Amino acid sequence: MAYRYLLLYKPYNVLSQFTTEPQAHSAARSAQPATLKDYVTVPDVYAVGRLDRDSEGLLLLTNDGPLQHRLSHPKFQHRRQYWVQVENTPDPSALRQLEQGVTIRGYQTSPAQVKAIAPPELPPRNPPIRYRKHIPTTWLELTLTEGKNRQVRRMTAAVGFPTLRLVRSALFLSGECALTLQGLKPGEWRELTTHERQALPKR
């Protein structure tokens, strides 16, 4: 079997799967969210890991089952980078807490790399985030080695700075080779290059 490796820029309000639960009522059917099937026509590929419906950014899709396991299982500490727009301005103490790990739902997160960044060049989100006139927002760059359900949102909330917009900006492969958003617009995908395929972790 020929393995396929696709990189998708998942838009906001799209499920990280190819199907959704059928709805009996026609009105409910019309309200169903978009899925990966609305953007990717390649058969028999599946997302490596997930992005929440209200998150955006990189998804790696493949039919290579062993690689899916290698990149998804927390014991391999596969690094993921996120750009996170939070409400207000986190102080150094809050950033240190995120770096050292915080407790969310009884679980202590692993240490992370965290820094404040200038607003990244991203297309506007549709619908836009909720702005509050007298409260500023800040962009952070977080690099994690784990990906529990809604982890980034719960981490920033735990230190008092709710997430307003969340974009997965990079997926790190072997060494320092990384898959990034460069050259992709929301809803677009491409095949991995030969160089990127060679940098995929060995199974």
Beta-bridge partner residues of 58? 9
52 is catalytic: yes
DSSP string, 86-117: EES---HHHHHHHHH--EETTEEPPP-EEEEE
Angstrom distance (rounded) from CA 117 to CA 147: 22
- Whether the CB-CB separation of 141 and 114 falls below 8 Å is answered with yes
CATH number of the domain bearing residue 150: 3.30.2350.10
Domain total in the chain: 1
**What pTM did the predictor assign?**
0.91
- Structural domain that includes position 24: 5-198
Angstrom distance (rounded) from CA 8 to CA 186: 8
Angstrom distance (rounded) from CA 198 to CA 46: 20
Task: Name the burial class of residue 48, with classes exposed (0-12), middle (13-18) and buried (19+) by CB atoms within 10 angstroms of its CB.
Answer: buried
pLDDT (tens, 9 = 90+) of the chain, 203 residues, equals 799 999 999 999 999 999 876 554 444 445 688 999 999 999 999 999 889 999 999 999 999 988 887 787 666 778 999 999 999 999 999 999 999 999 998 889 999 999 999 999 999 998 899 888 889 999 999 999 988 889 999 999 999 999 999 999 999 987 678 999 999 999 999 999 999 999 888 76
- What is the DSSP-derived secondary structure letter of residue 200? S
Choose the catalytic residue: 52, 54, 64, 91. Answer: 52
Angstrom distance (rounded) from CA 49 to CA 73: 9
Tokens 């058969």 belong to residue = 43
**pLDDT on residue 22:** 58
- Does residue 203 fall inside a structural domain? no
Which are the contacts of 94, defined by CB distance < 8 A and separation ≥ 6?
159, 160, 161
- Does residue 13 fall inside a structural domain? yes
